[in-house]
Structures are given as structure tokens and as C-alpha cells.
Amino acid sequence: MATPWAYQHQVRAGRPVRQRRRYLRNESRRRRRRIIAAMMGESRVFKGGIKVEKEPEGNARYLEDIQRAYNDGNALVYWTDGSVQRGNLGAGVAWEREVQGGHKTWVTTEIPLGQDTGSSTDTELYAIKAALQLAVERTEDAPGIRHVWILSDCLPVLQGLESGKIIDLGPAVSSSWALKDVYDLTDRLIRDSVTVDIVWVKAHAQSTGNQHADAAAARAASSQRSREMRGLTKRSEVPSFVRGMGKDCEDEWLYRANKRWFEEGPPPPQPPPPSLPAPPSSYTPHPAPQHPPSPGSEGSDEMDLSDG
């Protein structure tokens, strides 16, 4: 298990730093696979569509189709992104909202996700989950919606969902992992006759929607105060909601909380505080009386600790 104690065991065993890191990362991968199998089973299939268009011409046509469906009023389109800054995680979602007079304005939501709770891929997965949640809420008020498009620039997440081999869970911030929420929310929309497509295209990186989502994610990450690494986080500090999720989830939370310590090592020692000058005193010291050296002690600077 990749806990502080496992890491310390690796140190005591004298294993090189790279080998320790590889060991802990592999342990995390195996643990996440077990969590996913216990949480959703090993054969659950993502029922939404995954669209990856790598040719520029195909990108343009695909985005035109999305825009056309959105303009017709029977589709929702969300852009998503994630960010990690100094260990602080954040997710952002952007979409257009129609305002008075038929004009449209950009709207964003920013979700702070704590410090050392996961990876950049976890933030991207959470942003997709947040967009799906927004879509569920919107379709409840607008039954005419028949299609939800979510544009993400995180190719590994899309490929993992499509292949069924995803091992990313999302940030460890609640008693429900974002990965399971993505499956559950997608299934709910499909049961309500709403098609769900998650899209990755190269042109997405230059789109206005992605720029808004990227900025929202960055604001969410930077809005949180960073705590200094003062040593390994202990098992007693694991939140109660995580402990209720099982031993693997508890170990995964501990690994993430300590990952920067594992990867970067302990922080450098802080310099001592500057010494302050002694306060003024009215006492005038007098020199100690000088006694002549006892016979036979000349030239010796050592203290005599003998019994006499």
C-alpha cells in the first residue's frame, strides 16, 4: 500500500528515489483499478458517445454541426477544463446563455477542488462531471433538449471512457468519485431520451468556449490558499467521509495528500528567526575576579572531572 509507512519502508530499504516513485505510482494504479471494480463492476460500459476528430477539416465540420444544433434550441453545449497550481486543483465549465433580446453571453462556473486531492487529469474528469450535472438540471426545465455536447481537451479521459480502461477517479473531495458520477449522469440523460457526446477536437483549444473554461479553472485553483508541506500527513488526518469509503480509498487519499512530499522530498529547513538585540539594561557588569592558576595547571584548557 502506498502510505507514508510504505514510503518510509522504501527509504529504509535503500531503494533509489526513482524506484520509490515508480513503486508508489504502480501501487496507486492497482489500487484505483480495485476501487473502480468495486464501485462499478468490471464490465460497465460508458453509454455516451466519444468523438475524437484529428483532422482540421473534420474539426471544423464537427463544430459547425454542434453550433447548428445549439442554434436550433434542442442542444446544450459545454466547454470544460481543469487546472492545478502549486498543488491546488480547480475545474471550470463555460457555456453560452441567451439573455434579453436574443443576445447570448458567456457564463462560467468555477469549482475549487482542494490541495493535493488528485492530478490534472482528475480535474478534467471532474469538469466533465460538473457539465453533465448542469445538463441534467437544465433538461429538467427544458424538456425540448435532445442533445448534450461536452467539449474537453483531455484526450486521455476520452480514450479511457471509450475503451473502458480508464483508471482516473477524479479528485478525492467527496464520498462519490467523479468517474462514477460521469457514468451515472450520462445514463440518466440517456434514459430521458437525451443523447450525450463528449468531444475532443484540435480546434477546441482555440475556441472562445475553451478560453473561458480554462480561465474559470485557473481562477478556481488560484482562489485557494496553499498550505506548506510540514511533514507526512498521517492516517488520523484522513477525513471521515473517505474512511467510510473503504481501505483502498483511504490509502489513495493518503497517497495523494503526501504525493508532493514523496515526489519532491521534505521541504528545506526554515531559517531560524532573526535574533533580536538585547534590551537596554541599567545593570553594569563587572569583570570576574582573576585568580592565579593553581600549581601544575598551566597550559591546560581541559576541565578536570576527576574525583580529587
Asked if residue 203 has pLDDT above 90, the reply is no
Give residue limits of the domains in the chain.
Answer: 1-44+229-267, 45-227
**189 — alpha (psi -120 to 50), left (phi > 0) or beta?**
alpha
Max CA separation in the chain (angstroms): 110
pLDDT confidence bin for 293, thresholds 50/70/90 = very low
**Closest by alpha carbon to 132, among 217, 45, 48?**
48
Arithmetic mean of pLDDT, 135-155: 93
pLDDT confidence bin for 257, thresholds 50/70/90 = very high
Residue pair 151/160 in contact (Cβ under 8 Å)? The answer is: no
The Cα angle at residue 100 between residues 99 and 106, in degrees rounded to 5? 20
Arithmetic mean of pLDDT, 200-219: 82
pLDDT confidence bin for 263, thresholds 50/70/90 = confident
What 154-157 contacts at long range (C-beta under 8 Å, 24+ apart), as own/partner pairs, is: 154/82, 154/121, 154/124, 154/125, 154/200, 155/52, 155/200, 156/121, 157/121, 157/124, 157/125, 157/128
Task: Tell me what pLDDT residue 60 has.
Answer: 66
Q: Quote the pTM value.
A: 0.80
Identify the residue with better confidence: 263 or 89: 89
Arithmetic mean of pLDDT, 250-272: 78
Asked if residue 294 has pLDDT above 60, the reply is no
Task: Tell me what pLDDT residue 10 has.
Answer: 53
Identify the residue with better confidence: 201 or 2: 201
Mean pLDDT score across all residues of the chain: 82
Q: Which three cell numbers stand for residue 37?
A: 471494480
Q: Give the whole-angstrom CA distance, residue 169 versus residue 33.
A: 9
Task: Tell me what pLDDT residue 295 has.
Answer: 47
Arithmetic mean of pLDDT, 179-195: 98
Arithmetic mean of pLDDT, 169-192: 97
CATH placement of domain 45-227: 3.30.420.10
Residue pair 62/53 in contact (Cβ under 8 Å)? The answer is: yes
Asked if residue 25 has pLDDT above 80, the reply is yes
Give the model confidence (pLDDT) of 79-137 as tens digits: 999 999 989 999 999 999 887 777 889 999 999 999 999 999 999 999 999 999 999 99
Identify the residue with better confidence: 235 or 73: 235
Q: Give the whole-angstrom CA distance, residue 144 versus residue 131.
A: 18
Asked if residue 302 has pLDDT above 80, the reply is no
Percent of the chain at pLDDT > 90 equals 56
Task: Tell me what pLDDT residue 219 has.
Answer: 97
Asked if residue 240 has pLDDT above 60, the reply is yes
